[in-house]
Amino acid sequence: MENIYSTLRKIKERISPSKPKKDAVPAETTRTKRKASSSDNPFEEKGDHGERLGSKRMTIDKKSRALENVDRKVSVSPFIKNQNLMLSKVPQMDKLDSVRSESIRQQNNTLAKSLDERVSERPHADRVELQSKVSRADIAPAGGDEEREGEEDFDDEDEEKEDEDKVPLEVLEEMNKLEECFPRLSKNYRLMEKIGEGTFSTVYKAEALNGSIKLKSDLWKSPPLRNGKPSKKTGSKKNPIVALKQIYVTSSPSRIYNELNLLYMLSGSVHVAPLLDVLRFQDQVLAILPYYSHSDFRDFYRDLPVKGIKKYMWELFHALSFIHEKDVIHRDLKPTNFLYDPFKGKGLLVDFGLAEKAESTNNYKNINVCPCINKDRSSATKVYNKRMNFKAAYPKQDQRPPRRANRAGTRGFRAPEVLFKCTNQTTKLDIWSAGIIGLSFLTRKFPLFNSPDDTDALLELSLIFGLEKLQQSANIHGCGLEINLSEDITNTGNLIKVVADFLRYESENKGVPDDSVVHDTLSILNEKGDGIVKPTPSQASEDASFDELMDNYLDHKHLFQLLYGCFHMDPKKRLSANEILKLPFFSELVHNSDDEIVL
């Protein structure tokens, strides 16, 4: 009976025949034959036969995959990943490629079938020995450590390709255009994906190459996890991940300079993204910022407990305290501009495109000045009305100078002084925006306001805070406010009643899970929903002790106190960021601010 080795040699001869004699006539004279190499012979004799068979059986699929990947490469700019551009079309193989792939598949099938048949015919002892050799070969493939390291690199490249395949084709086109605007950009940075887009800019996630960026703080270093799994290259040094902010050419040069200057000036805080570098080519400007791994606000704002809200607001007001001490108004504070990681409990303030320095209001000589500057608020409105020279209603030809003020910001987050076109806007308007974020947490609703213009925005504020308070704010800034839709508007708003109405409506109509944090807020409200009630020892249960109920009650009570301080209609009486950080709501974080808050 033929042994297995002679059979394998016959298979080898059939798959990789020897060279024909000189006088032989080739079967197909029109086909160009490829020169044979050692890589074409899957039965190259190295070591003993059992180890050779096992190693070839395991690595043959990897060779075929690698061969197909090499054939699919396209000569494109290195700035755009070639494999991403192949998503829109199926790669075509020529005749030589198809013959080669078919030959490899036949080798694999024939070898496996022959091996199984011959091993089954051998004695039990020899069969066990041969199978053990094959198993050892599967665990330790031939080729040495260098080949195994190359295979690991190949697997890592496959994982990176899978991540890159998720990038939409239109985003790849945008990144390709960006490379054309910056010829040297691809040498120092590798764009990965688009992570944000606004009115004046677009932000991309990129990898800094060739040591172009060095990050000192661990906060800005690349995250150790990728797709929620540990990276295989734990010992290798990774290039830092940065954020590339492309500022549109439609922005004025003064606005671009103002943003870059403020970013440079605000360096030195872990709560504000520092400016790492600036690239400019003709009219294109790129700002290089650290990339901070964070979660989308919509993914956690409904599930964040009051302790998590406390940590979020603590980080937010620390960032505001830092920029306000430098007399900088952010003007566009909203959840998308505060990158927060609920698992680390860390936040970062970004996007200073609308930020500006707070101007001094000591020496105003312009007649078109908001009366809120006057120290005597009681006579402010009278002075302003006298200056306008009112007779009866509005004059036919109004000679009053129009009031010009900065109204920049995002709808729903602008303070009343911005809506009333106050010319004396201070850092306190950021405090109002921070209060809106806190109210969104309590009501579990985002966005809380959705007004198309300033008139509807004032109507929405009157529904929350009451018409009387809005009219007082209008008088402070020399304006009048009258609303004829007063059926659903109360004179004095109640913030607790607003929160209770939102949560109870959702609980009765949409349903709330039993483990939802909404029940923590509903448990401290009274029956009417216009106040909070202290828990009693009789309310304690196995799920919540009396101490936990009291802790929950105090946290909500202090949170409402914080919100009332943020929503004062008079900017001068509104609390500052430093004053808010000293409130009882943050007392447990003063000496222990590094605790992790996990959802």
* CA-CA-CA-CA dihedral for 217, 219, 220, 225, to nearest 10: 130
Instruction: Classify the C-alpha dihedral 445-197-414-463 as positive or negative.
Output: negative
- In the residue annotation, 138 being an active-site residue is answered as no
* CA-CA-CA-CA dihedral for 297, 303, 304, 307, to nearest 10: 180
Residue 391 is classified by DSSP as S
b/e burial code for range 176-212 (CB count within 10 A of at least 16 → b): eebbeebeebbebbbbbebebeeebbbbbbbbbeeee
Instruction: Write the CB contacts of 239 (distance below 8 Å, at least 6 apart in sequence).
Output: 207, 208, 209, 222
* Alpha carbons 372 and 573: distance in angstroms, whole number: 12
Instruction: Calculate Rg over the CA atoms of the chain.
Output: 35
Residues facing 242 on adjacent strands: 206, 290
Nearest alpha-carbon partner for 55 in 111, 179, 138: 138
Ramachandran angles phi, psi of 532, nearest 5°: -115, 155
For tokens 């290195």, the residue is: 78
Nearest alpha-carbon partner for 12 in 34, 36, 35: 36
Q: Which of 332, 341, 351, 520 is catalytic?
A: 332
For the chain, what is the total number of helices (H) and then of strands (E)? 20, 11
* CA-CA-CA-CA dihedral for 247, 250, 251, 254, to nearest 10: 120
* Alpha carbons 26 and 51: distance in angstroms, whole number: 36
**Cβ atoms of 438 and 562 closer than 8 Å:** yes
Q: Which helix (H) or strand (E) holds 548?
A: helix 546-566
Residues facing 340 on adjacent strands: 295, 347
| 3-state DSSP of 189-234 | EEEEEEEEECCCEEEEEEEECCCCCCCCCHHHCCCCEECCEECCCC
C-alpha 503 chain-centroid distance: 28
∠ CA(107), CA(111), CA(113), 5° rounding? Answer: 120
Instruction: Classify the C-alpha dihedral 149-151-156-160 as positive or negative.
Output: positive
Nearest alpha-carbon partner for 413 in 432, 388, 385: 432
Residue 94 is classified by DSSP as -
* Alpha carbons 479 and 2: distance in angstroms, whole number: 106
Nearest alpha-carbon partner for 160 in 202, 190, 203: 190
Q: Where are the beta strands (DSSP E) in 221-363?
A: 225-226, 229-230, 241-247, 277-281, 284-290, 328-329, 338-341, 346-349, 356-357
Residues forming the active site:
332
